Amino acid sequence: SEGQPCESYSYDVTVTDGVWRAKCYLHPSLNHLVHTNSLRTGSDIIIAQCSFVYNERRLGHGYISIEKLRCSSGESSLLSHIRDVRTLPVLVKSGMERSTLLQSDVPLELNRKHYLSLWNNEYPEGDVWTSAPPSSRDPVLDGEMLTCKPLPLLVKILQKSRLRYYGKIGSKIDFPYQAYFEVADQSGIMSLVLWNELCPQFYNSLNVGTVLYIQNYALKQSYSNRSRPQMDHYGIKMFTSIEICLNARNPTSIITVVPPKNVQPQWSLPDVSYRFATRSDVETFPNNSVCDIIGLVTFVGRVERVKRKGPEKYWSFRWVHAVDGTSEHPFVLELFSSSQPEIFGNIWPMTYLVCTQMRVCQVEGSLPYLTSSCETEMFITGYHKGQPYKNDPTVQNLIQRNKTLKDNVVLQKAYIGGHYCYPHAPCTFTQPVGETSVPLVAASDLKKELETLQYREHKKLAIQGQITTVRYVEKSSVSEPQAYSTPTRSTTLSRASYQCDHNTITLFIRNFGGSHFLFCVIFQCISMAIIKKQTNKIEFELNYCMKYIFHNFLSCGWSRQCQELSVHLHHGTLHQDSISRRFTLEEKNALLRWSNLHPMRWTPEQSADTLPTTVCAGYYQVTILGINKQIAVDAVFLPIERSGEHRAVGLPPGRHDDTMLSCLSSGFVCPLSGVPSSRSEVAHYRPGKIHPVATTADELEDTHLVCVLDICHLGGEEVEVLISKVYKVTEVSVK
């Protein structure tokens, strides 16, 4: 529910001890636990302090206010024994048994009549949103009706936009919602606006192709700055200066949904039309052009959020790949939530996806991608029945082509979740910042950005500095935090332990180039290597030393510089949520829950299936020292290993000279051929083979770089910081 003068939201929490359930008010000082998803459904909490608050303006009403609590990190052991929380009795203070607020789906405070969706204000949330229109008699076109002012309208819906929530702090409007529809008859197309209370009543039941009989509407001047769908392919007149407004009062609009069987041909209502494009067509489309697409989904990214204007307001979005067989490249789709939670949260590989009114984005350094608009609607397998596009030739052709595909072939390339970012960074970093440029921030501002991130909020930032350490983390299960430091042993090393044979050092220097830098690294690695004591001898495991030297870089001045830091941000751990998983039909439900935002309501299915720990092929931990050498940040670099990966789509092959710097710059672990899984690429790369760092480390020493970082809050204490690209100063353009 909407909240306090501090421009924040208020939250109600339903808790249970397994015997009773109670709806409680969460004290605003605890809101940050919701923002970071530390307080979440399905987990156990310990309430350390609470109080009972009476409503001084209403008799027989009060509620429990939670003021202090502790959150657990795992799944609840209590809820595993409960099948339906709604069957538990509600805990009510004696004398307040008649209070309806405690048992109904309405907020405890603020005199609001409905809840907002936890992560997205544009989602229809709660029991007030009906799926069927209010019952009304069938329309009869009699003479009495035709004499009314204004005259009734008989129109067909050609386009439907997502909901818009315009609520503000202190607003007294109960349902501050608005939804646009494009409606038409034989004379032309005009916008229809559904306002406030009518949105919960009608929004879910008014769909493209629905015929409406409208009475008691208002005509008002259109808002000139709003987005509009492209509908010129209909070939009929569009009225853009005025719009039809439907309200619950002043005047009270009457909306009648005409059953399809009652629609008469003599009404001459236009047919719903689409503008489907194939993947090969998109290459030729100009920037900002609009099209509809259909494809077979091969990759579904996790749901993330991006901040909007206004307090605690976010867009939810995810990246999706879909193929239609007309190109070797997939559609790359940036899908924002479209007030269709049942579809947006259930997009999975192997499903047919239809997206309407998608906008083409032509970008430098990447293949074009499509982003959804306010008017975009999405449909997946299970929701295509009855849709007007089913007989479109493009749709029929795709279905015929994919009948020859085998499920196991598609599943081999199907992935879900994990870190994914598009479009790729351009070849040159540009200042000043444009609309699509990555902002260059101070290291101190990066610290603030990391501290203020909310759950699944994603940002792309750039900082100046130099890389001081690189450490390769071998294939293992990830997400357990590791101390970011040079490997040490718990055994205290004596002075003799640091001594090593002159011939041994000479051997290493001969093998690795003989530079003074490598000598420093070799000496530090040998002195910290695994030691085995055998009959008063100290035997160094040279294989361990060679592996450590071969895969790690340590700047000569880092041991001194790290002592002079004011802040060191430790985010060099690769988390489970950062790694994409191969999609399987057996794990479908668990994978969908994992890739979606955490649900605001607990269900038994939430803890029914658990996913096994992901095993990562290996990654780099990188320390970036800020340009003024006061702040350092540890980040993860997860290189692309094969051109067939979903993360490699749209990446130009680029220059790659097998150095660590070119790896950080291009994103590839080795030169890519541009042809997915080509023989030359497979020969160059073998599983477990990581390109040497130490032998190419001289290029990193004291090099001024601009590092582009992807940051995302994964919930609780987990914050993801990944390096997406590194620029040398010669690749920076200052305008």
Q: Which two tokens stand for residue 122?
A: 């544009």
Alpha-carbon separation of residue 283 from 37, 299, 364, 424 (angstroms): 40, 20, 13, 17
Residue closest to 163 by CA, chosen among 330, 319, 337 = 337
Q: Choose the final residue of a domain: 241, 267, 293.
A: 267
pLDDT at 104: 82
Output 723 or 668, whichever has higher pLDDT: 723
Q: Does one domain contain both 231 and 255? A: yes
Domain boundary among 244, 267, 290: 267
Output Rg (C-alpha) for the chain, integer angstroms: 30
pLDDT of residue 137 exceeding 90: no
Does 140 score more than 80 pLDDT? no
Phi, psi (rounded to 5 degrees) for 633: -135, 135
Q: Is the pLDDT of residue 653 over 60?
A: yes
For residues 290 and 229, is the Cβ–Cβ distance under 8 A?
A: yes
pLDDT in tens, 190-246: 999 999 999 999 999 999 999 999 999 999 999 888 889 999 999 999 999 999 999
Distances (CA, A) of 608 to 82, 223, 346, 425: 12, 48, 17, 40
Q: Is residue 408 part of a domain?
A: yes
Counting the structural domains of the chain, the total is 4
What pLDDT does residue 543 have? 53
- Specify whether 299 is located in the same domain as 263: no
39, HSE (Cβ side, Cα atoms, 13 Å): 22
Rounded to 5 degrees, φ, ψ at 278 are: -90, 170
Q: Would you call 597 helix, strand, or coil by DSSP?
A: coil
Establish if 488 belongs to a structural domain.
no
What pLDDT score was predicted for residue 550? 62
442 is a domain residue: yes
Per-residue pLDDT for 62 more than 60?
Answer: yes
> Which residue did the predictor score with more confidence, 541 or 610?
610
- Asked if residue 81 is part of any domain, the answer here is yes
Cβ contact 68:15 at 8 Å: no
Res. 693 pLDDT band, cuts 50 70 90 = low
Same domain as 448, residue 566: yes
Domain identity same for 580 and 698: yes
- Residue 309 gets which letter from DSSP? S
Any residues with CB less than 8 A from the CB of 222 and at least 6 apart, and which? 191, 240, 241, 242, 243
Report whether pLDDT(138) > 70: no
**Predicted confidence band of residue 476 (pLDDT cuts 50, 70, 90):** low
CA distance 556 to 522: 12
Q: Does any domain span residue 656?
A: yes
pLDDT (mean) for 126-148:
60
DSSP characters over 630-644: SEEEEEEE--B--TT
CATH number for the domain including 64? 2.40.50
Length of the chain: 735
Q: What is the dihedral of CA 86, 92, 96, 98, to 10 degrees?
A: 10
Please give the residue range of the domain that contains residue 403: 279-416
719-to-134, 153, 309 alpha-carbon distances in Å: 46, 54, 23
Tell the residue number behind the tokens 């870190």, with chain if given.
419
- Note whether 683 and 579 are same-domain residues: yes
Whether the ω angle into residue 432 lies within 30 degrees of 0, i.e. cis, is yes
The SS3 of residue 522 is: helix
pLDDT tens digit sequence for 711-728: 999 999 999 999 999 999
Same structural domain, 595 and 729: yes
585 and 702 part of one domain: yes
Q: Which regions of 545-627 does DSSP assign to beta strands (E)? A: 552-554, 567-570, 581-582, 615-626
CATH for 379: 2.40.50.140
What does the buried/exposed string (b/e) look like for 644-682 if buried means 16 or more CB atoms within 10 Å of the residue's CB? ebbbbbbbeebebeebbbbbbbbbbbbbbbeeeeeeebe
Q: Tell me, yes or no, whether 603 and 708 share the same domain.
A: yes
Position 118 in a domain? no
Poorest-pLDDT segment among 84-88, 98-102, 269-273 = 98-102
In a domain, 693, yes or no: yes
Helices (H), ranges, 608-692:
660-666, 679-684
Whole-number pLDDT of residue 512: 44
Count CA atoms closer than 13 A to 347's CA, side-chain side.
Answer: 35
Residues 329 and 404 in one domain: yes
pLDDT at 499: 42
Could you tell me which of 100, 105, 92, 10 has the C-alpha nearest to residue 58? Answer: 100
Claim to verify: residue 41 and residue 98 sit in the same structural domain: yes
pLDDT at 332 over 50: yes
Mean pLDDT for the stretch of residues 147-176? 86
Q: Count of CB atoms within 10 A of residue 735's CB?
A: 6
Q: Within this chain, do residues 283 and 261 fall inside the same structural domain, yes or no?
A: no
Same domain assignment for residues 249 and 338 = no
Question: Helix, strand, coil proportions of the chain in percent (round to 5)?
Answer: 20, 30, 50
pLDDT given at position 402: 78
Handedness of CA 102, 105, 109, 113 (dihedral sign): negative
Give the residue-averaged pLDDT of 472-477.
74
Q: Is the pLDDT of residue 33 over 90?
A: yes
Question: What average pLDDT does the segment 522-542 reach?
Answer: 48
The least confident of 12-16, 455-459, 463-467, 659-663 is 659-663
Residue 504 lies in a domain: no
Question: What average pLDDT does the chain have?
Answer: 83
* Range with top average pLDDT, 68-82, 402-416, 673-687: 68-82
The residue-averaged pLDDT of 565-571 equals 94
